[in-house]
Amino acid sequence: SLWALNPEEGAETSVYLASSPEVEGVSGKYFYQKRAIASSPSSLDEEKARQLWEVSARMTGI
């Protein structure tokens, strides 16, 4: 379960991506449990991205 990971398990993919020669030079991919996965359709929605940017800019004052 995504929400039942201990800190070590939660960090495993980040550590893998930062240190493994297997993914050196890989960019623009999403990873889950050390595997590249497809991006969700929602993440490709330009209108949602614009809305997220606007909210983030307002909240951070930029």
Handedness of CA 42, 52, 4, 11 (dihedral sign): positive
pLDDT at residue 23, as a whole number: 96
What's the pLDDT at 4?
Answer: 83
Write down the pLDDT at residue 31: 94
Residue that is written with structure tokens 């497809």 in the block: 38
pLDDT at 21: 96
CA dist 29 to 7, 15, 23, 40, Å?
23, 16, 10, 11
Q: How many domains does the chain have?
A: 1
What DSSP assignment string belongs to 1-62? -GGG--HHHHHHHHHHHHH-GGGTT--S-EEETTEEEPPPGGGG-HHHHHHHHHHHHHHHT-
User: Can you give the pTM of this predicted structure?
Assistant: 0.61
Domain that holds residue 6: 2-60
Q: What pLDDT sits at residue 5? A: 83
Q: What is the pLDDT of residue 2?
A: 58
**Low-confidence stretches of the chain (pLDDT beneath 50):** none
